[in-house]
């Protein structure tokens, strides 16, 4: 039987992707217009990481999952109302910015310190999970630096599958160029895994899991430490929306054959 895992999933919140976003630049750098009013969701790839973590924990008895989140406390609380109904986890909350414009170096410092401070954490069984890129900064750099700060040099990004072998080794599939996967075997934890979409559908809401989770989530939010991210040495010269709005030519009532000819001619143009 496999030894249990201790899985810390790093994941924060992002604006709902159906929202229109507009940047504003203030004295302390860029942010989003009405950022605190925008409806938020759990960062999608971090969400996949959380669901994969819960799945791995369920199939390896004795395992445990934490969600480590840096974000504005009030917004974290809103998003947790839904996320808590998905899978069992314990929240470690840090009260600070979830903006895409915050620096990954400082964010990683805060997350690594929060993981290191989890009471009773067995670092030899630790798997640090997260999304391989956020939907805000989209850098793919935070998890690597969290791993470095925790002394973990077994790292994987763009992970779509983990299979635990009979000997406890982890077979890991990572996305590489051209729609392919690199396959590696990591003999044992600790390791860092930045997840892509993975294999699992989003779990249905389960109010019972929600109630059990919320009992610990509310105190965790109350305990959330103020965690400013000063963006030391980083300056933005500009942040702008793409200018290009196309003049769409809408072609109605053209016979299919003629459309096909137009498309083939267009494909052949240089």
Partner 1 sequence: METILLLAHTEPDGTLAKPALECLTAALALGGPLTIGLVGARVEAAASQIAGCGAARFLAVTGEAFAQPRYATDTAAAEALCRTAGSSIVVAPSTSRWARALPGVAYRLGGRVDTHATSLAAENGAPAVTRWFYRQRMEAVLSRRERPWVILLDSGCVAPWSGPAGTASVEPVAVAVPETRTTVTGVRAPKADEQTIRPDAKLLFVAGAGWTKKQSDGAVHAAEAETLILGFLRAAQASLGGSKSLVDLSGEGEAVLRFMTHLNQVGQTGSTPRHPKGLSTCCHGEEPHVVGWRFVNQRRAINLDANCGWARGKADVLYVADAFEVMRHVNRLLRA
Ligand X SMILES: Cc1cc2nc3c(=O)[nH]c(=O)nc-3n(C[C@H](O)[C@H](O)[C@H](O)COP(=O)(O)OP(=O)(O)OC[C@H]3O[C@@H](n4cnc5c(N)ncnc54)[C@H](O)[C@@H]3O)c2cc1C
42-61: contacts with ligand X (CB under 6 A): 44
Q: Which letter, b or e, does each residue of 10-29 get, where b requires 16 or more Cβ atoms within 10 Å of its Cβ? A: bbbbbbeeeeebebeeeeee
Alpha carbon distance 95, 225 (integer Å): 6
Residues in the chain: 270
Interface of this chain with partner 1, residues 105 to 164, rule: CB under 8 A? 105, 108, 135-142, 144-145, 147-149, 153-158, 160
Question: Between residue 18 and residue 47, which ones bind ligand X under the rule CB under 6 A?
Answer: 44
Binds partner 1 by CB under 8 A, chosen from 186, 209, 214, 218: 186
Binding part of the chain for partner 1, among 58-66, 115-123, 172-180, 218-226 by CB under 8 A, reads 172-180
* Selected binder of partner 1 within 35, 52, 95, 174 (CB under 8 A): 174
Tell me how far apart the alpha carbons of residues 103 and 164 are, in angstroms, rounded to a whole number: 34
Q: What contacts 24+ positions apart, CB below 8 Å, involve 160-166?
A: 160/195, 160/196, 160/197, 160/198, 160/199, 161/198, 161/199, 162/52, 162/56, 162/193, 164/2, 164/56, 164/59, 164/60
HSE (side-chain half, CA atoms, 13 Å) at 149: 21
Residue from 17, 233, 242, 255 binding ligand X (CB under 6 A): 17
CA nearest to 32, candidates 72, 66, 3: 72
Interacting residue with partner 1 among 26, 61, 119, 179 (CB under 8 A): 179
- Answer for which of 10, 35, 45, 71 binds partner 1 (CB under 8 A) is 45
User: Could you tell me the two tokens for 7?
Assistant: 């899985």
Q: Can residue 15 be called a binding residue for partner 1 (CB under 8 A)?
A: yes
Q: How far apart are CA 179 and CA 85, in angstroms?
A: 33
CB of 237 to partner 1, least distance (A): 4
Among 82, 124, 184, 222, binds partner 1 (CB under 8 A): 184
Least distance (Å) between residue 210 CB and ligand X: 20
Is 208 one of the binding residues for partner 1 (CB under 8 A)?
Answer: no
Q: Which is nearer to ligand X, 44 or 169 (CB)?
A: 44
21 is a contact residue toward partner 1 (CB under 8 A) = yes
Among 23, 88, 168, 203, binds partner 1 (CB under 8 A): 23
- CB 78 to ligand X: min, Å: 16
CB of 257 to ligand X, least distance (A): 15
* Residue 207, contacted partner among ligand X, partner 1, none, CB below 5-8 A by kind: none
Distance separating alpha carbons of residues 258 and 253, to the nearest angstrom: 10
Segment interacting with partner 1 (CB under 8 A) among 71-79, 122-130, 209-217, 233-241: 233-241
Torsion of CA 157, 158, 160, 166, to 10 degrees: -10
CA distance linking residue 49 with residue 69, whole number of Å:
13
Binding stretches for ligand X (CB under 6 A): 17, 44
């Amino acid at each position: 039987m496999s030894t249990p895992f201790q899985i810390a999933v790093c994941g924060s919140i992002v604006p709902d992707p159906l929202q229109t976003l507009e940047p504003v630049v203030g004295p302390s750098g860029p942010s989003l217009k009405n950022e605190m009013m925008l409806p938020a969701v759990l960062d999608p790839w971090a969400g996949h990481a959380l669901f994969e973590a819960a799945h791995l924990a369920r199939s390896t008895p004795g395992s445990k999952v934490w969600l480590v989140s840096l974000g504005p406390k009030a917004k974290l609380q809103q998003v947790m109302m839904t996320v808590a109904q998905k899978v069992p986890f314990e929240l470690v909350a840090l009260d600070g910015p979830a903006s895409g414009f915050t620096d990954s170096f400082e964010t990683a410092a805060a997350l690594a310190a929060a993981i290191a401070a989890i009471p009773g954490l067995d670092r030899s069984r630790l798997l640090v999970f997260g999304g391989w890129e956020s939907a805000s900064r989209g850098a793919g750099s935070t998890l690597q630096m969290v791993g470095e700060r925790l002394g973990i040099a077994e790292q994987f990004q763009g992970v779509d599958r983990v299979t635990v072998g009979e000997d406890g080794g982890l077979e890991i599939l990572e996305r590489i160029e051209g729609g392919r996967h690199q396959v590696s075997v990591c003999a044992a934890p600790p390791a860092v895994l930045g997840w892509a979409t993975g294999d699992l559908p989003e779990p249905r809401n389960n109010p019972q899991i929600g109630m059990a989770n919320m009992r610990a989530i509310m105190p965790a939010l109350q305990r959330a430490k103020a965690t400013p991210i000063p963006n030391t040495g980083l300056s933005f010269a500009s942040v702008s929306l793409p200018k290009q709005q196309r003049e769409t030519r809408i072609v109605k009532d053209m016979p299919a054959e003629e459309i096909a000819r137009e498309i083939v001619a267009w494909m052949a143009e240089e």
